Amino acid sequence: MVESRLPPAFVDLETHLERWALPNTVARMQARDSANMADIEAFYGALVPRLPAALDYLQGIAYGAEMAACARNLVDLCLSIAEIPPAVEWYGQPRVIDGYAGSVLTITSELP
Amino acid sequence: MQGLAYRYAAGDPITAGRARDLPLPSGVNPARSPDWAVDVSVFFPNFLTAIGANTYFTHQMWPLAVDATQYEMTYYFPAPATAAERFAQEYFFVELRDLLIEDLNTLERAQANVMNGSIREFHFQDHEVVLRLHNATIRQWLKDAQANTSA
């Protein structure tokens, strides 16, 4: 039996793992910067309705390196969806209106 | 989504109308304003702290040339107790980072227009009295430095 890559209640989100479960903040910034709005809205539309349940689940999990791989994947999806709302809810485009590209910033350290 | 992030944050990263009830040190939000967000303190000439509930961040500006500045912003968060708190931290980081991306681009455009002569002077309004003091003090520093160099 192949082990699920997400907790059982969230296996329907597995199709988003390859593109949106990313290792760090820089990768998440780049993903939003380089995506088109159709892709961003598709991810937003798929994740946001599940987010309350996902966060309720993750509220019961201590954050750290000892998390199960499937929980880590769900966290990574949630961290990527945290990157998306300004594009959808505020700008209507991937990048900040009248702003830099995110790549102008140098991220020297980030939250684990 | 901001509402979800608020719900799972360990504290109120920006105001949620509960500031009066937060367990803050007496020196933070000393007036106990319910609409408080952050206390901003400027350490002249180039360091600024913004202290909120459960997070704080700093700005530091390093002049490199007459038309170039290195701008550093550092966020500080406590280690998240739960994986949901980590989501809330990332959400607030993204919000603040996008604000910075917008504001700094505005500053660069203003600088470009200073350099090409389109902007010749800035007007500080009465409520910008601290900026007036900052500007006057920097000008005095430069004047003193030039006097020392030419002496």
Q: Which pLDDT score, from 0 to 100, does residue B14 have?
A: 56
What confidence tens digit (pLDDT) does each residue in B68-121 have? 999 999 999 889 999 999 999 999 899 989 999 999 999 999 999 999 999 999
Strands, sheet with B39-43, edge to edge from the N-terminal-most edge strand: B39-43, B47-51, B56-65, B68-76
From A36, A31, A111, A37, select the one nearest B91 (Cα to Cα).
A111
Q: For position A61, what pLDDT does the model report?
A: 96
Determine the angle formed by the axes of helices A25-34 and B83-115, rounding to 10 degrees.
60
Using a CB-CB distance cutoff of 8 angstroms, which residues of chain B are in contact with residue A81?
1
Residues 6+ away with beta carbon under 8 Å from A3: A70
pLDDT of residue A95: 94
Contact B86 A111 (CB under 8 A): yes
The pLDDT value given to residue B84? 94
B3-53 pLDDT, tens digit per residue, is: 888 778 776 555 455 666 777 888 888 888 878 888 999 999 999 999 888
Does an H or E element contain B68, and which? Answer: strand B68-76
Q: Which helix (H) or strand (E) holds A27?
A: helix A25-34
The answer to whether the CB of A31 falls within 8 A of the CB of A20 is yes
Q: In this predicted model, which residue has the larger pLDDT, A53 or B53?
A: A53
Which of A105, A107, A110 to mutate to test binding with chain B, by most B CBs within 10 Å of its CB?
A: A105
Q: How confident is the model at residue B65 (pLDDT cuts 50, 70, 90)?
A: very high
To the nearest 10 degrees (0 to 180), the angle between helices A25-34 and A69-83 is: 50
Query: Which of A10, A58, A91, A109 to mutate against chain B (most B CBs within 10 Å)?
Result: A58
Give the residue with greater pLDDT, B71 vs A4.
B71
User: Has this prediction a pTM greater than 0.80?
Assistant: yes
pLDDT at A94 over 90: yes
pLDDT of residue B63: 93
- For A52, other C-beta atoms within 10 Å of its C-beta total 12
Cβ–Cβ under 8 Å, residues B67 and B115:
yes
Could you give the dihedral angle defined by the CA atoms of residues B38, B44, B47 and B50, in that order, rounded to the nearest 10 degrees? 0
pLDDT of residue B11: 64
| pLDDT of res. A1 | 52
Q: A94: which residues sit within 8 A by CB, 6+ positions away?
A: A32, A33, A34, A35, A36, A37, A40, A87
Are the C-beta atoms of A89 and B1 separated by less than 8 Å?
yes
* Residues in B touching A105 (Cβ below 8 Å): 97, 100-101
Instruction: Enumerate residues 6+ apart whose C-beta is below 8 A from A60.
Output: B82
Identity of the residue numbered B17? G
Give the residue-averaged pLDDT of B61-65.
95
| Best mutation target, B70, B101, B109, to test chain A (most A CBs within 10 A) | B101
- Chain A residue closest in CA terms to B76: A111
pLDDT of A110 reads 87
Per-residue model confidence (pLDDT) at position B22: 73
In sign, the C-alpha dihedral spanning A83, A89, A93, A99 is negative
- Which residues of chain B does A63 touch, with a Cβ-Cβ cutoff of 8 Å? 79-83, 85-86
Residue by residue, DSSP assigns B46-63 as: TEEEEE-SS-EEEEEEEE
Contacts of B105 in chain A (CB under 8 A): 96, 98-100
Work out the percent of chain A whose per-residue pLDDT is above 70.
98
Q: What is the pLDDT of residue B150?
A: 78
* Interface list for chain A against chain B, based on CB atoms closer than 8 Å: 25, 29, 48, 51-52, 55-56, 58-63, 67, 71, 74-75, 78-79, 81-83, 85-86, 89, 96-100, 102, 104-105, 111
Q: Which residues of B touch A68 (CB under 8 A)?
A: none
Q: Is A105 helix (H, G, I), strand (E, B) or coil?
A: coil
